[in-house]
Structure 1
Amino acid sequence: MQDITDLSALALSSAIAERRLDCRSVMAAYLSRIEAINPRLNAIVSLRPAEDLLAEAEAADRALAAGDYRGWLHGMPFAVKDLSEAKGILCSFGSANYADFVPDYDDIHVERIRAAGAIIIGKTNAPEMGLGSHSYNPVFGVTRNPYDTTKSAGGSSGGAAAGLAARLLPVADGSDMMGSLRNPAGFNNVIGFRPSFGRVPGLGNELFLGQLAVNGPMGRSVADVAALLSTQAGHDPRDPLSLADEDLALDGSRDLSGARIGWLGDLGGYLPFEPGVLELCEASLDVFRRLGCTVETVPPGFDMTRLWQVWRTLRHFLVANGQAADYADPVRRARMKPEMIWEIENGRELLATDIYAASLGRSDWQRHVAGLFERYDFLILPSAQVFPFAAELDWPKEIAGRTMDTYHRWMEVVIGPTLAGLPVAAMPAGFGPTGMPAGIQIIGPARADRDVLSAAAAYEKATDWLGRHPQF
């Protein structure tokens, strides 16, 4: 059998269920690899004591022997992103203000992961309060890219993506407001899936207004990602906007011949790209052509400067109100990163009419994109505008000679799917001239999560990029 940590999550699950591997051996293998490699990456944080984890794995073995099979994650190690609550484990949100917060409850999707048999071993690192697509914070420090530890792993699901790429985890959860499941997937040559809004329920405080961020899965294969999504997804009355239960089983034999692909590229020259990124992503379109798809370049057909203003307004509004209590306390405010202060202070200046105007703009964008899906089955965009950058940098200040006027402008390529609430599979697109990965977004119509995953699976079969692992 392959090394335990090289097995896909589904292969590992089968080996445990069929008693070809015991849970204790699986846990020991992952803990050994984490001990050897994680100090160089800082992907896993708040790791629980090995003796406790091994004892839980032994208990999982005893349960299995007694016929108590808890689900496809039975006895498998799992680290939750440090922006979601897992009962009894530090949840810092990467913030000094929450460096001692230990929740006594699970977020809904964590509750479901635990119920499917997973053993929660700790957390994966993220930026402070999830702001910025680079995983560094004052509590745990920076997460590094396993393909080059001098580079960023992206974010905010950077710890999850780096942990997957380095075989420290079999599968992982993440979340995504501004590309946080997509950018790190591209930076680390793994898969991230942003579900349709409402697909995965959560315990957010702003249940009726916070319609930008979602929780979702990450993995080393589309099949693993689809399996975790099926565990996370489904209606929960605690989240009134969560979607009804639906069959999300992956159609791994999806024939893409005849599918219509719209390539959005740099949105008609609107977006700047680091040299090589756009070309690498555009070359990946040949995969779709070989699969029998028709591929056309699509002009944006929408005022993208207006969309950026819509994005800024809604994000300022949500961040400012979500962090209002911390900002009001001078001691806690002093611990906040400058980008957080900037978001809050911009948000405090907004009027109700500004929020309403942004909502109208978002609605116009949704209608525009819905029109595109009358002509195309899927839309394709790069998942980032740069290759992984220096880990010591807070954020890229310029791209191709164009100054980035905000801390997140360099990730503008991801806001369109977010604002339309669409399902997106972030898939590898290959490696640039320095050996660093890049990725694409496969975007589907509203609630077409299963179709997007099936298209991603066909794309995965036609490439070998996921077989290129970082070496340790």
Structure 2
Amino acid sequence: MKTMLIYLDSKYPFTESMPSNLCDLDATEARRLIGERKLSSVDLVEACIARIEAVNPKINAVVTTAYDRARVEAKAADEAIAQGKPLGLLHGMPILVKDLNRTEGIRTTFGSPLFKDNVPTSDDPLVARLRKHGAIILGKTNTPEFGTGSNTKNRVFGTSCNPFNTKLTPGGSSGGSGAALAANMAPLATGSDSGASIRNPAAFNGIAGIRPSPGLIANPERSHGLSTNGVEGPLGRTVADVTLLLAAMAEYDPRDMMSRPIDPSIFLTLKPVDVAGLRVGISEDLGFAPIDKVVRETFRRKMETISGAFALCEDSGTSMKGAEEAYMGVRALHLLSGNSARYREHGKDLDKNLVWNIEDALNKTPTQYAEAVAEQTRIHREFQSVFEKYDVLITPACNVLPFEHTTLFPATIEGRPAAHYCEWFSILYGISLIGHPAISLPAGLDPQGTPFGIQVVGSRNGDHRLLEVARALEALLASTPETQRPKADL
């Protein structure tokens, strides 16, 4: 259904064909209309607030709201346009921020009872960057305690649900952001990804999300400076939306040991890619990851649907043997650097899953850590040969289908007991281990009627090219009912 939106205020003497709900607009379209005075930030913010109030009680994706402040900032954004002031990339755009990022004047709990009443007096660097570009913080999205987990639940706000089936998990740890975007509660949302935490909720919720190369989005507060773990990144409903937010998030900061000089404006221009010229490598399991049979079969069906469009599409023969042991060591170092002091002070007051992860890390020997880092280095070097033959590598974006949120993690995988908590997202953490950029794209539905995603991996530091290819793949996927992006019935 379409409606004509007419501005009664003389500052906006325009008409524009709009969706009946402005919150359903893609971010890039909404930003264009705001800049052309065909959409007011006030109206967009109000539409998003109405959607959150209507849908969030059943999904529990947004856990803290900042409506009053958002309304004031939206009005100021509209006035700035009327006065002809310079506009930022996200001028007047409402955005949801994962509850791991400090937000000045807006409660930030990190999903932990230890911070349930915490209201920061300053923004963290990423949030400050978003505000500089004109973004309006509408609220905070749910996350596991301190982001440790890929099933979004905590003891402060409870469990987030999948908009396609509220008995199932939206994934995590950016599950609140993923679910909110799938329900069109806001046009954009932030996430972070150590092992799977952007790509997994993107896949489970039928949206897009990129894990950028470590250092592209500078984070001078990272506790483990030289690590491929712990990157921040954008989620959106389309590749264009993800790219817009990435352009606002990317920045060089010498205080971040992984950061490198970057001109974020390059992401504002994506060249067209002809899929007929693409060389595509496929891997169902990266040569090490256990993948449920239903996921393998679904992935094969999706790829068979689109494979004929490429110049080359074949099994890549990729093997990341040893990635499990390497990742668990690298992950343990990352966890300890950020949580060891907290564990010593609060111990058993922390979430049981977080405690298990920390204690598992404490039980590793120095030799195990050294071997993990050495294995990570070997796997990274060998993986570079993939891009001597292929433009991108495509894998499933999940080892399992979305599962019941009452279960912390799947008890079985490939028909046998799961070896440990992280095993069920190993197809994603394998790529985290080597630090390549990877984007999760929606590719239709799985056999249980929930979204199915594919992971598209780019060359080292090839984020810009990856996004160009991803946009072409998105259009290809949208061309057939089998692989087009699903939408939740709200």
Select 2:342's aligned residue among 310, 326, 344: 326
Partner of 2:310 in structure 1?
292
Provide the identity percentage.
36
Identify if the C-alpha distance between structure 1 residues 185 and 349 changes in structure 2 by more than 3 Å, giving closer, same or farther.
same
Partner of 1:264 in structure 2?
283
- Residue 20 of structure 1 aligns to a residue whose secondary structure is coil
Select 2:216's aligned residue among 177, 180, 199: 199
Select 1:14's aligned residue among 32, 39, 43: 32
Select 2:394's aligned residue among 355, 373, 380: 380
| TM-score scaled by length of structure 2 | 0.91
Matches within 5 A, 1:55-74: 55-74=72-91
Partner of 2:48 in structure 1?
30
Which segment drifts farther, 62-71 or 108-117? 62-71
What amino acid is the match of 1:324? S
Identify if the C-alpha distance between structure 1 residues 104 and 271 changes in structure 2 by more than 3 Å, giving closer, same or farther.
same
Matches within 5 A, 1:293-312: 293-303=311-321, 306-312=322-328
What amino acid is the match of 1:253? P
How far off its partner does 1:85 sit? 1.6
Identify if the C-alpha distance between structure 1 residues 367 and 222 changes in structure 2 by more than 3 Å, giving closer, same or farther.
same
Select 1:277's aligned residue among 262, 279, 295: 295
Partner of 1:348 in structure 2?
362
Partner of 1:162 in structure 2?
179
Deviation per residue, 1:85-124 (Å, 9 max, x gap): 2222222111112222222222222221111111111111
Partner of 2:436 in structure 1?
422
- Residue 275 of structure 2 aligns to a residue whose secondary structure is coil
Measure, in 1, the Cα distance between the counterparts of 2:121 and 2:403.
37
Matched length: 466
Tell me, yes or no, if the aligned pair for 1:226 and 1:250 is still in contact at 8 Å. no
How far off its partner does 1:159 sit? 0.7
Measure, in 1, the Cα distance between the counterparts of 2:324 and 2:339.
22
Partner of 2:455 in structure 1?
441
Measure, in 1, the Cα distance between the counterparts of 2:425 and 2:208.
18
Measure, in 2, the Cα distance between the counterparts of 1:368 and 1:379.
14
Show structure 1 runs of 5+ residues with no match.
none
Which segment drifts farther, 129-138 or 332-341? 332-341
What amino acid is the match of 1:237? P
Tell me, yes or no, if the aligned pair for 2:102 and 2:124 is still in contact at 8 Å. yes
Measure, in 2, the Cα distance between the counterparts of 1:292 and 1:300.
19
1:47 aligns with 2:65: yes
Select 1:121's aligned residue among 138, 155, 167: 138
Tell me, yes or no, if the aligned pair for 1:200 and 1:234 is still in contact at 8 Å. yes
Measure, in 2, the Cα distance between the counterparts of 1:414 and 1:354.
22
Identify if the C-alpha distance between structure 1 residues 150 and 132 changes in structure 2 by more than 3 Å, giving closer, same or farther.
same
Measure, in 1, the Cα distance between the counterparts of 2:91 and 2:304.
39
Identify if the C-alpha distance between structure 1 residues 159 and 102 changes in structure 2 by more than 3 Å, giving closer, same or farther.
same
How far off its partner does 1:207 sit? 4.7
Measure, in 2, the Cα distance between the counterparts of 1:259 and 1:238.
38
Show structure 2 runs of 5+ residues with no match.
1-17
Measure, in 1, the Cα distance between the counterparts of 2:293 and 2:451.
14
Partner of 1:404 in structure 2?
418
Measure, in 1, the Cα distance between the counterparts of 2:211 and 2:184.
22
How far off its partner does 1:79 sit? 1.2
Measure, in 2, the Cα distance between the counterparts of 1:397 and 1:79.
32
Select 2:471's aligned residue among 457, 460, 463: 457
Select 1:228's aligned residue among 245, 251, 276: 245
Tell me, yes or no, if the aligned pair for 1:427 and 1:439 is still in contact at 8 Å. yes
How large is the RMSD of aligned CA atoms in angstroms? 1.7
Measure, in 1, the Cα distance between the counterparts of 2:317 and 2:215.
29
How far off its partner does 1:410 sit? 0.9
Measure, in 2, the Cα distance between the counterparts of 1:56 and 1:440.
37
Partner of 1:313 in structure 2?
329
Measure, in 1, the Cα distance between the counterparts of 2:186 and 2:68.
18
Identify if the C-alpha distance between structure 1 residues 130 and 51 changes in structure 2 by more than 3 Å, giving closer, same or farther.
closer
How far off its partner does 1:59 sit? 1.7
1:255 aligns with 2:271: no
Partner of 1:241 in structure 2?
258
Identify if the C-alpha distance between structure 1 residues 135 and 351 changes in structure 2 by more than 3 Å, giving closer, same or farther.
same
